Amino acid sequence: MTGPEQKLEPKDLAATGRNLLAFAAEMYPICRSITGKGIRQTLETIQRQIPLELHHVNSGTQVFDWEVPQEWNIKDAYIKDAAGNRVVDFQKHNLHVLNYSSPVHQTLSLTELRPHLHTIPEHADWIPYRTSYYKRDWGFCLTHNQLLSLQEGNYEVRIDSTLEDGQLTYGECFLPGTLKDEVLISVHACHPSLANDNLSGLTVATALAAMLRERTLRYSYRFLFIPGTIGAITWLARNRDAAKRVCHGLVLTCVGDAGGFHYKKSRRGDAEIDRAMAQVLKHCGEPSEILEFSPYGYDERQYCSPGFNLPVGCLMRSVWGSFPEYHTSADNLDFIRPEPLARSLGLCAAAVDILEKNRRYLNQNPCCEPQLGKRNLYRATGGGSIHEEINARLWVLNFSDGEHSLLDIAERSGLPFTAISSAAELLATNGLLVDIS
Amino acid sequence: MTGPEQKLEPKDLAATGRNLLAFAAEMYPICRSITGKGIRQTLETIQRQIPLELHHVNSGTQVFDWEVPQEWNIKDAYIKDAAGNRVVDFQKHNLHVLNYSSPVHQTLSLTELRPHLHTIPEHADWIPYRTSYYKRDWGFCLTHNQLLSLQEGNYEVRIDSTLEDGQLTYGECFLPGTLKDEVLISVHACHPSLANDNLSGLTVATALAAMLRERTLRYSYRFLFIPGTIGAITWLARNRDAAKRVCHGLVLTCVGDAGGFHYKKSRRGDAEIDRAMAQVLKHCGEPSEILEFSPYGYDERQYCSPGFNLPVGCLMRSVWGSFPEYHTSADNLDFIRPEPLARSLGLCAAAVDILEKNRRYLNQNPCCEPQLGKRNLYRATGGGSIHEEINARLWVLNFSDGEHSLLDIAERSGLPFTAISSAAELLATNGLLVDIS
Amino acid sequence: MTGPEQKLEPKDLAATGRNLLAFAAEMYPICRSITGKGIRQTLETIQRQIPLELHHVNSGTQVFDWEVPQEWNIKDAYIKDAAGNRVVDFQKHNLHVLNYSSPVHQTLSLTELRPHLHTIPEHADWIPYRTSYYKRDWGFCLTHNQLLSLQEGNYEVRIDSTLEDGQLTYGECFLPGTLKDEVLISVHACHPSLANDNLSGLTVATALAAMLRERTLRYSYRFLFIPGTIGAITWLARNRDAAKRVCHGLVLTCVGDAGGFHYKKSRRGDAEIDRAMAQVLKHCGEPSEILEFSPYGYDERQYCSPGFNLPVGCLMRSVWGSFPEYHTSADNLDFIRPEPLARSLGLCAAAVDILEKNRRYLNQNPCCEPQLGKRNLYRATGGGSIHEEINARLWVLNFSDGEHSLLDIAERSGLPFTAISSAAELLATNGLLVDIS
């Protein structure tokens, strides 16, 4: 993979994207849930790419207003018709079982069974993804066509699952930087065979961590691979000091499909991460949209709860819930594509680059412009127009007054942060600026 | 009439509107002016609906830069042609006399009479409404067609009016609430036979007062039925302490025609009443427009003078001066309609509802979301979408941080205040919020 | 010329414009540069119109990060072909020589000569304007057609110029006012035969100074006629105290062409001059556009450097660099027109008028409106509409609360500053306002 300072070139993009997709494919078949072997196996797969510390929290542990739930594991599940045929079979697709279903083994008439069956009539070939974490229940998810083909009669239903005291597991990859201030990258790792939501997030976060490991970092970076909601709540409850050190944060979800980018701002709305994301999206060459914060969504719900109010936004391509494949079997490995995955990674790297390089400088010649020409920093012949790089130098000099950061200057000038940042480095090398951040 | 918490349903709307129009019709024939028997008779009519205290202020009383004018009363007025026919007759329409005309009885040639005649050439069948309160004058208002039909010759003109020391009268209906802080509703009651301006305001204000009487109120409410300009100035001069207690206020005028709503903001521009009106207009289902404050208009001119700068806005349907019927005989009982009257009342009631219910709450579980599911405040099966009422709960929880009122939350969320307010009540009942307002 | 308080009427416009154009024509042939006889001769021409003090600064003087350059003078320059014909001739157009060229006298092949030749291929009949102030170089500017007609062979090139220690010269016209606070008007006077850039600026600034001399002024006015960049830097380095007194400032350039107005805001963005210019442009009856500050441009670059950050904007018609004639021989006396020049002058005068008259008043009757009618400041007969002048009085009264200036009131009301200002004068005369600025 390329470093965060380099643009991902078309060739690298293709190769990077294929690697990301291959990694997603490796994790796709695992039946994950918020607890149990599935998520553990997933985290172990990630551990082979980056240094990931696994944390295990006992069932029943109180975390704020919540309690860590029991561990759920499942071996098999099916509905058999009177002839003994598996008409719905967990072995064929792990979405077929209502995630976190209690064990059951009964014979029921179709009428009795019906309330336990979930389908999507509008997409009659897709299996929905449904869960019942916090209310004991069992059920099956099937295509609507499967449902329509079921005859009256008795069915043997079996869910060979266990719900027992055990542990909730999450993974944490910490990359120390010069500062104790932290950047938080959080992805949920609890969804079963769903690709965009959120194998795309897992693969991009893993690749970003691998990329940042190779680099000297100003900020410390903390990557969380956690079960949704309860994982974020558990981490926050156990890491209140670390939470206080979070200066910038991103939740990544649905970053592999072919849609344009969406960035949902943090609750603060004007945090540096919000501005950094707006900056990279503006210059990324893809369609993008900035969304205001709302308290419904992914784990930014918890990070942005009023008791924490962390500056954590959420990066998506297509917005969860807004595309028909969302939370269905159609969110599969064909729905995510190599290039969008690679471009999502590049975007995250570019945002990190802004956070790393966003400093305040002080112009050492604040009265009038310094004479750039004598330092070979200006064109020689006057009368024509100047280029972006000289323009960027003028912007940096004029606004390096101690009040404006490079990101401020990029925003005000309309020039890309990269142009402003390069200009600042060059001017600092020439003694015209000093870093006061 | 329905209570302010209930929506006015189609059936109620029709009945409510008919009642409002009938009440307007009762007051329509009275020849009102800023002083005299006409306005007194009008106030007595209103007194039959709500407890209204009448105040009488002697002519000559100094009120700020003004002086309470003499009392004007009129018995008859006409222009007779040489044959003794009443070619202009006050008995046929009280707009025919320049309001506040001095008495006169003379015989004049048409040429001598002409400067005393007011018409509207563009609407040749309408009688204009003209006044001369602060300069002694007399005149007649007639249709342009009437004017054209006048032959050369002598005319007997008579205005049987009196201008004598007496009293200026206004009415005040005070509804005490838990708080001493007041909401001011002000309507001018000085216009003669003009329906939209301002019998519509009188009827809606009367009905609103009747509605609020039935209710336990947080704020105290003060309804003023006053002659325009001089009435507001007189009230402010005599009630400087009460003026200081005004937290929110509305002037109502032209609220009965079929046009969409217009709300003119208070001088402050961001007062709670301005935001409450914007909120109810956004969700009222009728076209509406918010207008910036300007110092010309109705009695908000006085309430918003810089020495008071009260948070008082002005609600209208069609904006005074912008519709051709304004200040003419065409602003009659056909120009105002039952349903618009009833909807104006409903809108005022909805705004009052916001003022009454707009509080600040404190989330008792500020760190992460509280577990709504275990309190049956969330959906049971996960994976699908949530509904507005759950969404409203999340908004209220997230922003009940001590800094945001329910109106703030409604504005930021885009959800109707009613949804936010209901969510807050439910969450408070469940112990998840406490009222800190 | 008309006074700044009067509108320039069509007839005056034409006469004024012809005078301005005639003055530009007088200065057009002079070969100016940043130093030397050309700029001195130009300043002496201006000195015949207004009292202008010439300042002479020795070559080699350190001015901030810069050094005053040597004095450049030129007698002749040409390229002769083998037959001895002057194929490029400075006597025909002073743009033919690269401005500030070192002396040269050589015979060169076309190939050797080629790197010293500047043309504009897209406009094959125009001569470009090019300079080399800060790097020793020599060159010729010619039409692209001239270049194409040059045959292979040897050419005698001669530039009979001198670059010697001498002086940099600039002119300063100071008009004292009641206040020590200053308004700065700055124009660059270093460009050779280019009409819009910047003979238009020189003529308009000269005429504005002549106009203001006739007037009693509140502010003091300082007009600078200086070589671009180095002149502004030199003045700032030698006048740090005067610079601190600058409250408002304008750079004038390209104000004579037929395009609409452009005003580039000061670095502060909300300075009074920025608001005054927006106000006059809004009501000037010509198309106009407000541009955000950027650190590239004319001498506002220096005035707005962070060590000074003066409230200085830049008025243009067509924006330098955006029209094809810019910095070419096509920016000639046909490119600037009498009426645009005169209207530019009128606009500057109107802006000065705002600065002079923008005060804060205090309403002496802040509680309710004062009774304008008894002072004959209102209409006598009520019921119809009011006119702009009464409306302006109401705006001034309502917002003369000690916090709002007349410009604030003009902005908020949408009425022209002239209407607001006249209303304030009338109300003050009637004792209803007092000046507290």
C295 touches chain A (CB under 8 A): yes
- For residue C112 the two structure tokens come to 């050797």
What's the rounded Cα separation, in Å, for the pair B231 and B170?
Answer: 7
- Picking from A368, A395, A413, the nearest residue to C305 by CB comes out as A368
The C-alpha R_g of chain B, in whole angstroms, comes to: 25
d(CA B56, CA B171): 9
From chain C, the residues in CB contact with B133 under 8 A are 382
Q: Does C261 touch chain B (CB under 8 A)?
A: no
Distance between CA A14 and CA C152 in Å, rounded?
53
Judge whether B383 is closer than 8 Å to chain A, CB to CB.
yes
Mean pLDDT by 10 residues, chain B (437 residues): 52 94 98 97 98 98 98 98 97 97 97 97 97 94 98 97 98 98 98 97 98 97 98 98 98 98 98 98 97 97 98 98 96 98 98 97 98 90 80 97 97 97 97 96
Residue B433 β-bridge partners: B363
Take residue C75 and report the two structure tokens written for it: 């007698």
Q: Find residue C140's DSSP bridge partners.
A: C97, C117
Q: In this predicted structure, what is the pLDDT of residue C9?
A: 72
C323-333 per-position pLDDT tens digit: 999 999 999 99
- The alpha carbon torsion through A398, A399, A401, A404 (nearest 10 deg) reads -170
Backbone angles phi, psi at B103, to 5 degrees: -70, 150
CA distance A413 to chain C (A): 7
d(CA A299, CA A351): 20
- C-chain CB neighbours of A371 within 8 Å are 65-66, 134
**What six digits make up the tokens of B434?**
């406490």
The answer to whether the Cβ–Cβ distance between C367 and B232 falls below 8 Å is no
Q: Does A305 touch chain B (CB under 8 A)?
A: yes
Say yes or no: B220 contacts chain A, CB-CB below 8 A: no
**Average pLDDT of every residue of chain A:** 96
% chain A with pLDDT above 70: 98
The answer to whether B291 and B264 are in contact (CB under 8 A) is: yes
> What are chain B's partners, defined as 3 or more CB pairs within 8 angstroms?
A, C
Q: How confident is the model at residue C380 (pLDDT cuts 50, 70, 90)?
A: confident
Count of Cβ atoms closer than 10 Å to residue C213 Cβ: 13
Q: State phi, psi for B287 to the nearest 5 degrees.
A: -65, 145
How near does any CA of chain B get to the CA of C6, in Å? 29
Q: Chain C contact for A121, CB < 8 A?
A: no
Q: What is the pTM of this model?
A: 0.93
Any residues with CB less than 8 A from the CB of C249 and at least 6 apart, and which? C183, C184, C185, C186, C266, C273, C303, C310, C311, C312, C313
- Rounded to whole angstroms, the Cα distance separating B5 from A425 reads 63
Give tens-digit pLDDT for A210-238: 999 999 999 999 999 999 999 999 999 99
Q: How far is CA C181 from the centre of its chain?
A: 20
Closest CA to C169 of C338, C43, C342, C274: C43
Decide: C47 and C41 in contact? Cβ < 8 Å. no
Distance CA B225, CA B254 (A): 15
Residue pair B327/C384 in contact by the 8 Å Cβ criterion: yes
Say how many Å lie between the first and final Cα of chain B, rounded: 31
Question: Does A238 lie at the interface with B, CB-CB under 8 angstroms?
Answer: no
Bridge-based pairing state of the strands C360-363 and C401-405: antiparallel
Q: Does A61 touch chain B (CB under 8 A)?
A: no
Q: Compare all CA atoms of chain C with the CA of B234 and give the residue at the minimum distance.
A: C368
C264-286 confidence digits (pLDDT tens): 999 999 999 999 999 999 999 99
Give every CB contact of residue C244 below 8 A, 6+ residues apart in sequence. none
> Could you give the CA distance from residue C34 to residue C30 in angstroms, rounded to a whole number?
13
Q: Does A370 touch chain C (CB under 8 A)?
A: yes
Q: How far is CA A58 from CA A103, A167, B407, C352, in A?
A: 21, 4, 42, 76
**Which ipTM was obtained for this model?**
0.94
Q: Are the beta carbons of A250 and A315 closer than 8 angstroms? A: yes
Nearest CB among C371, C383, C398 relative to B306 is that of: C398
The pLDDT tens digits for C5-38 are: 446 777 899 999 999 999 999 999 999 999 999 9
Answer whether B111 touches A (CB < 8 Å): no
CA distance C298 to C198: 11
pLDDT range class, residue A2, cuts 50, 70, 90: very low
* Chains in contact with C, counting 3 or more C-beta pairs less than 8 Å apart as contact: A, B
SS (H, E, C) A79-99: EECCCCCEEEECCCCHHHECE
Nearest Cβ partner for C306 among A363, A383, A386: A363
Give every CB contact of residue C111 below 8 A, 6+ residues apart in sequence: none
CB contact under 8 A, B132 and C363: no
- Tell me the β-bridge partners of C74: C161
Distance (Å) from the alpha carbon of A251 to chain C's nearest alpha carbon? 35
| Nearest chain B CA: its distance from A248 CA (Å) | 18
